[in-house]
Chains A and B, each alone.
Chain A
Amino acid sequence: MQFSRRDFIKFAVGGLGGTLLSPLPWKLMDDIAIWTQNWSWVPVPARGKFSTIKSVCTLCPGACGIEVRKVGSRAVKIEGRSDYPVNQGGICPLGMAGLQILYNEGIRWKAPMKRVGPRGSKRWREIAWDEALDELATRIKGLRDTGNPEKLAAIDGNQPRSTMALLVRRLLDAVGSPNYLVMPRGEDTHAMATFLMQGGRGPAAFDLENTDFIVSFGCGLFDGWGAPGRMLSAWGEWARNKDRKYLIQIDPRASNTASKADQWLAPFPGTEAALALGVAHVIIKEKLYDREFIQNHAFGFTDWRDAQGIEHKGFSRTVLEKYSPEIVERITGIGRGVITDVARKFASARAPIALAGRGKGLLPGSVYESMAIHALNALAGRVNRKGGVLIPDDLPLASWSDVQHDPVAMDGLTRERVDRAGTQRYPFTGSLIQKFTEAINSGHDSPADTLLLCSANPVHTIPDGRSFARAMAKIPFIVSLSPFMDETSMMADLILPDHTHLEKMVDIVWPTGIQYPLYALSQPVVQPVYRTKHSGDVIISLAKGIGGAVAGSFQWTHFEEALQERVRGLYDSGKGRITYDASEPVRKGLATKGSVSSPYSSFKTMWEDIREHGCWYIPSHSFGDWSDVFQTPSKKFEFFSTKIEVALKAYSKGKSFNDAILQLGIGSKGDEVYMPHYEEIKPGAKEREYPLLLYPIELINLASGWIGNPPFLNKTLFDHQLREDDLFVEVNPKTASRFGLKEGSKAMVISPKGELRVRVHLFDGAMPDVIFIPVGLGHTAYDRYLKGKGVNPHEIIDQAEDPLSGQPVWWNTRVKVRRI
């Protein structure tokens, strides 16, 4: 058949027409549209049964109640619990982003690991749990066999007082090592100040909910201080109440808290003690203090004569002489009129409270400063009163049986701690990680052979972490129990990865700052995602592996058993409450003395309930008799701390007293050294060469502790805080123009310790001559969502040493800037 041109055209036209009229094009278009909706690389969330499970967030010592929504076995959302006494519904952004910690494959250790390459080479071999535990047990056994049990050291970041912390400490104790170190915290400073003035070792408790006037000397109350869930929900309540509290925020920068406050004062950083004493001066001078309290319950306020008949100048006269508003104005930069005004307002308030601290309170502060601020509470008679600073009631947790010490352990425990904490040099401090670092770096051989790291990332989170990293290089064997591939565990030899907070049961005993006894208990929300093991179980297995008396001190088969044994004490006390009704906030209960009896008739049912509800608490305060309240030698609140007197006398024995206190870093003389006073801390670097001050700041939406910042939090950072990989420092426009810096300029911030590459954000709210730098970024480990973003100010902190405590002063580094 001839196929003509004509036929071809007919065929083509007909074919085209036919195809267009057929359903084919429509079908194809529809298919394409559907395909664009179901691209295989767009994740499709698996369906499943919805459920919720209650727990407690243990990412910080705040212990907020959380409720986790699950689909099937997956956790899909974290929400705050309104039926939990601490937070009453809210949680902080870090807690909210918790699932990004749980499920982030890029930052978690998935199994026990043994280093195979050189240290820091990031070459690892996955090993079995038994093998890993065996290796460590053998090593510790070896130390004990050679009579060096003290060469085992541990750095513990677990929440103080928690069962985990107790367990780690018990291991060291049973092995025979005194070198149990904890990560330093702001709370330590509070505890020390109250110990020195009131006696008794306990956390500070602030009945903020019942105050009507707060002077915060630098606490970022709404920037992540204390238990953020509690603080934010408390603030919400205050803000909505018409007759709300008066809040004075003392801060060198217009922080969120400062902007929310009724009054913002910005003294020069480090002069807060002088400001507090200036306020005290006015209160004393105008006789606005609580005379009843001062007369009956205070020691050292007026001039006094000691047993030897020596005349001592009292706190009141010292303050009147040395801290007049005029003098304080010169020191702090705060006008005398303002000081007088603040003092009058403070003293005339119904229930004022003064708070000491810096930022989130993750790092220790200055002891004298804390004392000076606490002295205000005493002057106003706010100690052990509703709406004041409470002396916490003990939680009736049961104690474990005593540790069995074998001769090796007994011998080991007599050796001096590497960090010399608790010795005459640092009599009041429990642990000094900085001194530990120094001791290792200064000697030839490391005094520690095996280092155990629990829930801590000191390389990144402590001031001058680089020195710590140098010290690590000298320690022969490092074991990390961290669940995360953080900077510190990257330098370890053996990784025994813990579960994350949503996979395990741990407790928090007395969340930070809470003013009533509270025991918080988290429960596993999901099955462990990886081949990790609860650190508590690891410690117990380890002890069993070491054997002998060490094993004997760990009679439990697993962690939960050890924990339950303590909780039994709560049951035995017959007190407490487990459920919480939001309409009956705890602050109301605190008005009354007394306690609440428990309705439980068996431990088992009570345990089940604690597990389910995540807490046990007593919604009241016992306000003990005044005779028991102060556990000082004078049985009073001591403006003149006899504890300091005893300690300094002991330290200076055989030397010149003045030389001795100079060695301790105390610049003042005479009786003032035993009393709250302003101690000028001189930075190492010269002002002429380093004209600016570096002030690390903490943001509530930037994790600055040992948990790496989750990606969701990166979303909430402003682009004047982080842009691409550059961290911004806040600089006052005037200061910036002096150094030729503009908005967005790239610059080097240089301290004697090193330099940081940053960009500049001009911020009117920044104090002139101070460079404010956020803490929490600058990671060299973790995944690509975190690593290499920003810089870590801790690296260039030129730390001074706080007198008395020996803790690092991290807010006083002199720096210069160079535009690049």
Chain B
Amino acid sequence: MDLALIPNGVQRCSLKVFVPWMLLWLVILAGGLLSAFLCFYKGLNQTNMNHHFAFGLWIVFDLSLIALGAGAFFSGFLTHIIGEVFIYPYVEDLKAIINAAVVIGFICYSAAIAMLGVDIGQPLRGWFIFWHANVHSMLTEVSFCITAYLGVLTIEYLPLILSNRKLNEIRELNIFGSNLHHAMALFAAAGTFLSFFHQGSLGGLFGVLFARPFAFREGFSIWPWTFFLFILSSIAAGPSFTLLCVWIAQKVTGKELVKRSVFTLLAKISGWLLATYVILKILDTISWAYGVVPRAGLSFMDFYEGPYGVWLIVAEIGIFGIIPAIILITPRLRERNDLLIVGALMNITGIVLNRFVFTIQTLAIPVMPFGKFMSYFPTWQEWGIAMGAVGYGILVFSLSYRYLPLFPQEAELNPIRVLGKAVTDSGIVKRG
């Protein structure tokens, strides 16, 4: 039925499979929308957040999504700036996933912004951040940058959408799409700038909390060290997340969508960045433990109590930091498919854990000497919205995959055979 929309030279499953698949995620998205409605209608009492846990699951999710979405800007940066302006030998491999990276980025950022819209107590006044902007607030910087960057992502996404077979037939759109594509280096540059700052500001968000010794960091000029660590960790996690998404897409579709060398490249980038990050993170932790902490009159172990024990830091830096870094930078290890995936997965787990720690543990630790350690568990509405974001992401990705030429190498890697002969120019061949 939707044959006419499917890109040239590739095969897609039948609607009988596709529709139920979509319905599943649609239901999950609907759950998210219901939760969002409840939060809008009844207020944030629908969550388990409170005065102590001013931020909860959503902020953890937002930070994680934005960190993972960094694959888009970093791939874009490598492809369009390093690859075209300078010379980058692996640019062809990058071009194989740049579309996917953009779509993933778009999904992550749009979902994050939507979640933030629910998270604030007065969503209808959300635009006050822009209107009455306080330029000294890291959150202002984050808001401006992610909003603008979502615009950039949309612009980057647009040529891909316009290259849909049907849309591409419209001359105006065709021309417009290719013109946008020509200017892509410009957008990638703007995107890189924006991303750099908001990834950093997200780290700054916590690093500047000088009255929260757990989060507070010294730094360079107005930027606390977390500013740079967040940038580094996001570009370390982004490619791994892209890798993982593509790998999952391969498993779900049962097709090889990109060459193995693409995975290797992503793993290599991710691995070296992660390794750098982990070293700096360890240095940061040590200097924090010997600087900020004793100056606040506290000792390292004062921050690890109850469910937020010292296992968290071991897990975050040790297990999910050092190990994946080793896996991803060691050619022998990353060549093994299973280890490659485990490495990427551990990498992003570590980064998500980092965002979790900065959000939740910062708030769980009482600063007042007579305060109490708090713990928090989200309500179903909070989970609903978080899962809704996942559902939304899979929906958009599935649609993009089905109807857009997401993977330039797909056709080449999966030649359609009619009577045993490879066919390159026909739209679809029904499977037997």
**Is B124 a contact of A33 with CB atoms below 8 Å?**
yes
Whether a CB of chain B sits under 8 angstroms from the CB of A688 is no
* Contacts A32-B125, A33-B125, A33-B128 known; 8 new A-B pairs at CB < 8 A: A5-B170, A6-B172, A9-B172, A29-B127, A35-B124, A36-B122, A36-B124, A36-B125
Name the contact of B124 in the complex, choosing from A6, A9, A32 (C-beta under 8 A): A32
Please, which residue of chain A has its CB at the minimum distance from the CB of B122? A36
Please, which residue of chain B has its CB at the minimum distance from the CB of A5? B170
Query: A36 CA to B170 CA in the complex, in Å?
Result: 44
Query: A36 CA to B124 CA in the complex, in Å?
Result: 7
Please, which residue of chain B has its CB at the minimum distance from the CB of A9? B172
> What are 7 A-B pairs with beta-carbon distances under 8 A?
A6-B172, A9-B172, A32-B125, A33-B125, A35-B124, A36-B124, A36-B125
Query: A36 CA to B128 CA in the complex, in Å?
Result: 12
Query: A9 CA to B172 CA in the complex, in Å?
Result: 9
Contacts of A32 in B (CB 8 A): 124-125
Please, which residue of chain B has its CB at the minimum distance from the CB of A720? B372
Contacts of B125 in A (CB 8 A): 32-33, 36
Query: A35 CA to B125 CA in the complex, in Å?
Result: 10
CB distance from B130 to the nearest CB of A (A): 10
- Considering only residues 31-49 of chain A, those with a C-beta below 8 Å from chain B are 32-33, 35-36
Query: A264 CA to B128 CA in the complex, in Å?
Result: 57
Query: A5 CA to B167 CA in the complex, in Å?
Result: 13
Chain B 115-145, CB-CB to A under 8 Å as 1, else 0, gives 0000000101101100000000000000000
* A interface, size bucket: under 10
Contacts of B170 in A (CB 8 A): 5
Contacts of A6 in B (CB 8 A): 172
Please, which residue of chain B has its CB at the minimum distance from the CB of A6? B172
- Considering only residues 158-180 of chain B, those with a C-beta below 8 Å from chain A are 170, 172
Please, which residue of chain B has its CB at the minimum distance from the CB of A35? B124
- Considering only residues 279-298 of chain B, those with a C-beta below 8 Å from chain A are none
Please, which residue of chain A has its CB at the minimum distance from the CB of B121? A36
Contacts of A5 in B (CB 8 A): 170
Query: A35 CA to B128 CA in the complex, in Å?
Result: 14
Contacts of A35 in B (CB 8 A): 124
CB distance from B281 to the nearest CB of A (A): 36
Contacts of B122 in A (CB 8 A): 36
Chain A 10-35, CB-CB to B under 8 Å as 1, else 0, gives 00000000000000000001001101
Query: A5 CA to B172 CA in the complex, in Å?
Result: 10
CB distance from B160 to the nearest CB of A (A): 20
Contacts of A33 in B (CB 8 A): 124-125, 128
CB distance from A36 to the nearest CB of B (A): 5
Please, which residue of chain A has its CB at the minimum distance from the CB of B176? A9
10 tightest A-B CB contacts, nearest first: A32-B124, A36-B124, A33-B125, A36-B122, A36-B125, A29-B127, A9-B172, A33-B124, A6-B172, A5-B170
Please, which residue of chain B has its CB at the minimum distance from the CB of A32? B124
Contacts of A9 in B (CB 8 A): 172
Query: A9 CA to B171 CA in the complex, in Å?
Result: 12
Please, which residue of chain B has its CB at the minimum distance from the CB of A33? B125
CB distance from A278 to the nearest CB of B (A): 38
Query: A32 CA to B128 CA in the complex, in Å?
Result: 12
Query: A300 CA to B255 CA in the complex, in Å?
Result: 110
Contacts of B128 in A (CB 8 A): 33
Contacts of B124 in A (CB 8 A): 32-33, 35-36
Query: A398 CA to B128 CA in the complex, in Å?
Result: 70
Please, which residue of chain A has its CB at the minimum distance from the CB of B127? A29
Query: A223 CA to B170 CA in the complex, in Å?
Result: 83
Query: A35 CA to B122 CA in the complex, in Å?
Result: 11
Please, which residue of chain A has its CB at the minimum distance from the CB of B131? A29
Query: A29 CA to B126 CA in the complex, in Å?
Result: 10
CB distance from B227 to the nearest CB of A (A): 32
Query: A5 CA to B170 CA in the complex, in Å?
Result: 9
Chain B 147-161, CB-CB to A under 8 Å as 1, else 0, gives 000000000000000
Query: A155 CA to B127 CA in the complex, in Å?
Result: 64
CB distance from A3 to the nearest CB of B (A): 16
Contacts of A29 in B (CB 8 A): 127
Query: A32 CA to B124 CA in the complex, in Å?
Result: 7
CB distance from A427 to the nearest CB of B (A): 53
Query: A36 CA to B126 CA in the complex, in Å?
Result: 11
Please, which residue of chain B has its CB at the minimum distance from the CB of A36? B124
Please, which residue of chain A has its CB at the minimum distance from the CB of B173? A9
Query: A6 CA to B122 CA in the complex, in Å?
Result: 41
Query: A500 CA to B127 CA in the complex, in Å?
Result: 49
Query: A6 CA to B124 CA in the complex, in Å?
Result: 36
Query: A150 CA to B387 CA in the complex, in Å?
Result: 74
Query: A43 CA to B127 CA in the complex, in Å?
Result: 25
CB distance from A413 to the nearest CB of B (A): 61
Query: A36 CA to B121 CA in the complex, in Å?
Result: 11
CB distance from B78 to the nearest CB of A (A): 34
Please, which residue of chain A has its CB at the minimum distance from the CB of B170? A5
Query: A6 CA to B171 CA in the complex, in Å?
Result: 10
Query: A552 CA to B127 CA in the complex, in Å?
Result: 76
Query: A303 CA to B105 CA in the complex, in Å?
Result: 101
Please, which residue of chain A has its CB at the minimum distance from the CB of B172? A9
Query: A753 CA to B170 CA in the complex, in Å?
Result: 88
Contacts of A36 in B (CB 8 A): 122, 124-125
Please, which residue of chain A has its CB at the minimum distance from the CB of B128? A33
CB distance from A327 to the nearest CB of B (A): 42
Query: A261 CA to B122 CA in the complex, in Å?
Result: 49
Query: A6 CA to B173 CA in the complex, in Å?
Result: 11
Query: A36 CA to B43 CA in the complex, in Å?
Result: 13
CB distance from B361 to the nearest CB of A (A): 22
CB distance from B334 to the nearest CB of A (A): 48
CB distance from A771 to the nearest CB of B (A): 23
CB distance from B197 to the nearest CB of A (A): 26
CB distance from A665 to the nearest CB of B (A): 46
Query: A38 CA to B122 CA in the complex, in Å?
Result: 13
Query: A33 CA to B122 CA in the complex, in Å?
Result: 9
Query: A6 CA to B175 CA in the complex, in Å?
Result: 14
- Considering only residues 169-198 of chain B, those with a C-beta below 8 Å from chain A are 170, 172
Contacts of B127 in A (CB 8 A): 29
CB distance from A42 to the nearest CB of B (A): 12
Query: A219 CA to B66 CA in the complex, in Å?
Result: 62
Query: A6 CA to B170 CA in the complex, in Å?
Result: 10
Query: A6 CA to B172 CA in the complex, in Å?
Result: 8
Query: A5 CA to B127 CA in the complex, in Å?
Result: 35
CB distance from B278 to the nearest CB of A (A): 39
CB distance from A720 to the nearest CB of B (A): 10
Query: A451 CA to B124 CA in the complex, in Å?
Result: 59
Please, which residue of chain B has its CB at the minimum distance from the CB of A10? B172
Query: A150 CA to B128 CA in the complex, in Å?
Result: 74
- Considering only residues 42-83 of chain A, those with a C-beta below 8 Å from chain B are none
CB distance from B50 to the nearest CB of A (A): 12
Query: A33 CA to B124 CA in the complex, in Å?
Result: 7
Chain A 792-807, CB-CB to B under 8 Å as 1, else 0, gives 0000000000000000
Query: A129 CA to B103 CA in the complex, in Å?
Result: 77
Please, which residue of chain B has its CB at the minimum distance from the CB of A29? B127
Query: A182 CA to B98 CA in the complex, in Å?
Result: 88
Query: A6 CA to B176 CA in the complex, in Å?
Result: 13
CB distance from A249 to the nearest CB of B (A): 23
Query: A6 CA to B127 CA in the complex, in Å?
Result: 34
Residue among B125, B127, B128, B170 with the most chain A CB within 10 A? B125
